[in-house]
């Protein structure tokens, strides 16, 4: 059965990949994409001729609510923090006239686990805590519900499961080059690499022993397409309080990530030494917005539900395999 999909963030890294992956499914779906910058509409249509463009901004709550009301499933991938659009999606999907529950897939971030480290100003330190999205479900719910700053996550979790089936995807470090029509580049690794190429060496925060899990953007997009299929088939067990799915396929300490970047850049003769520089959390924040949190905290995740009941099988290159390609891409990008 074809689903009516409303997707935000089609011009972005995650939304663009998701649009690509759901467009690859054997069953065509009716996809409407919210695009705020009309100059980005044509490249999206060129790449995905059957996609429909909805010109508008997340701030236009009436428009977002109207689109959500008309959709079977909303992929809200443009922002993890936009409260107004999240409330509008909730209102549209829970409309009293709907014949069946609506589905809502919401992007979130793994920095949700960094609260205690941020509070203690502890960055770059190791941790042995691994969060399993099945075994630690109750503890994870407690982390979110006790964090007033996780506004959107809490809006998602507060929905009535008889009206809206929700999924939260706390993104860890996402790497790889996306298939999207416009932005194909992630943030954490590419920004460290850019710095390394500009300054001659990459950096790590403190001892570089804190670690985040990671996922290739292609595998993440495939997870979103599986969720669309699960919604169409009305499968149970992956929604609402059970629907906090960790998309991970490995974990690496940030110091090791930087060493891989240094080695690849050195081998490609882009830098003169393969040493990694240690910086303080303050310096990390000056180099990159939220650098201390994004490169100095721990978010070690175990994906049990997606790899279990949902049948997600990540198959893209590992982070270590991808880094030399990313270094090459960043060098070419800087030349331009």
Residue 303: both structure tokens together:
């994906």
Q: How many CB atoms lie within 10 A of CB 129?
A: 11
Q: Which is nearer to ligand NAP, 34 or 327 (CB)?
A: 34
Instruction: Tell the smallest beta-carbon distance from residue 193 to ligand NAP (Å).
Output: 14
186 is a contact residue toward ligand NAP (CB under 6 A): yes
* E-assigned strand segments in 88-193: 102-109, 131-132, 164-171, 173-175
Window 97-126: contact mask with ligand NAP (x via CB under 6 A): ----------x-x-----------------
Window 33-72: contact mask with ligand NAP (x via CB under 6 A): -x-xx--x----------------xxx-------------
Q: Which candidate, 113, 124, 125, places its Cα nearest to that of 282?
A: 124
Q: Which is nearer to ligand NAP, 82 or 307 (CB)?
A: 82
Residue 322: both structure tokens together:
């991808």
Across 149-159, b (16+ Cβ under 10 Å) vs e yields ebebbbbbbeb
Instruction: Tell the smallest beta-carbon distance from residue 275 to ligand NAP (Å).
Output: 26
Phi/psi at 214 (nearest 5 deg)? -145, 160
183 is a contact residue toward ligand NAP (CB under 6 A): yes
Q: How many CB atoms lie within 10 A of CB 324?
A: 17
Q: Tell me 127's DSSP state.
A: -
Measured at the alpha carbon of residue 57, what is the angle toward residues 52 and 45, in degrees to the nearest 5?
25
Q: How many CB atoms lie within 10 A of CB 270?
A: 17
Query: How far is the C-alpha of 121 from the C-alpha of 115, rounded, in Å?
Result: 10
Q: Which is nearer to ligand NAP, 13 or 254 (CB)?
A: 13
152 is a contact residue toward ligand NAP (CB under 6 A): no
Q: Which candidate, 231, 249, 248, places its Cα nearest to that of 240?
A: 231
Instruction: Tell the smallest beta-carbon distance from residue 100 to ligand NAP (Å).
Output: 27
Site for ligand NAP in 71-100 (CB under 6 A): 77-80
Site for ligand NAP in 244-283 (CB under 6 A): none
319 is a contact residue toward ligand NAP (CB under 6 A): no
Instruction: Tell the smallest beta-carbon distance from residue 117 to ligand NAP (Å).
Output: 17
Phi/psi at 205 (nearest 5 deg)? -90, 125
Burial class, 273, CB count within 10 angstroms (exposed 0-12 / middle 13-18 / buried 19+): exposed
Q: Which is nearer to ligand NAP, 90 or 271 (CB)?
A: 90
15 is a contact residue toward ligand NAP (CB under 6 A): yes
Instruction: Tell the smallest beta-carbon distance from residue 333 to ligand NAP (Å).
Output: 15
304 is a contact residue toward ligand NAP (CB under 6 A): no
Query: How far is the C-alpha of 304 from the C-alpha of 135, rounded, in Å?
Result: 8
171 is a contact residue toward ligand NAP (CB under 6 A): yes
Instruction: Tell the smallest beta-carbon distance from residue 161 to ligand NAP (Å).
Output: 24
Burial class, 117, CB count within 10 angstroms (exposed 0-12 / middle 13-18 / buried 19+): buried
Pick from 155, 187, 270, 317 the residue near ligand NAP by CB under 6 A.
Answer: 187
Instruction: Tell the smallest beta-carbon distance from residue 8 to ligand NAP (Å).
Output: 6
Q: Which is nearer to ligand NAP, 59 or 142 (CB)?
A: 59
Contact residues: ligand NAP, CB under 6 A: 8-15, 34, 36-37, 40, 57-59, 77-80, 107, 109, 171, 174, 183, 186-188
């Amino acid at each position: 059965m074809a689903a009516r999909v409303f997707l935000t963030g089609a011009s972005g890294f995650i939304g663009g990949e998701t649009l690509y992956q759901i467009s690859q499914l054997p069953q065509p779906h009716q996809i409407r994409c919210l695009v705020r910058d009309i100059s980005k509409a044509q490249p999206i249509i060129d790449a995905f001729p059957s996609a429909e463009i909805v010109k508008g901004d997340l701030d236009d709550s009436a428009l977002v609510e109207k689109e959500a009301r008309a959709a079977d499933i909303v992929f809200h991938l443009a922002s993890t923090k936009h409260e107004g659009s999240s409330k509008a999606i909730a209102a549209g999907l829970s409309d009293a006239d709907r014949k069946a529950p609506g589905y809502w897939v919401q992007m979130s971030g793994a920095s949700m686990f960094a609260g205690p480290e941020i509070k203690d100003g502890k960055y770059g330190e190791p941790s042995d805590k691994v969060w399993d999205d099945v075994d630690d479900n109750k503890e994870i719910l407690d982390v979110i519900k006790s964090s007033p700053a996780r506004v959107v996550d809490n809006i998602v979790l507060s929905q009535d499961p008889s009206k809206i089936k929700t999924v939260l995807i706390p993104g860890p470090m996402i790497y790889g080059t996306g298939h999207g029509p416009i932005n194909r580049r992630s943030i954490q690794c590419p920004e460290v690499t850019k710095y390394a190429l500009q300054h001659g060496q990459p950096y790590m925060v403190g001892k570089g022993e804190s670690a985040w899990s990671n996922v290739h953007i292609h595998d993440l997009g495939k997870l979103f397409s599986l969720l669309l299929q699960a919604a169409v088939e009305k499968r149970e067990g992956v929604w609402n309080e059970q629907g906090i799915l960790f998309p991970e396929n490995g974990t690496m300490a940030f110091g090791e990530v930087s060493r891989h970047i240094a080695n690849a850049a050195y081998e490609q003769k882009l830098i003169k030494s393969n040493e990694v520089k240690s910086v303080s959390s303050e310096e990390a924040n000056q180099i990159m917005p939220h650098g201390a949190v994004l490169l100095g905290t721990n978010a070690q995740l175990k994906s049990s539900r997606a790899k279990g009941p949902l049948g997600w099988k990540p198959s893209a290159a590992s982070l270590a395999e991808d880094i030399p390609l990313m270094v090459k891409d960043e060098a070419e990008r800087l030349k331009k």
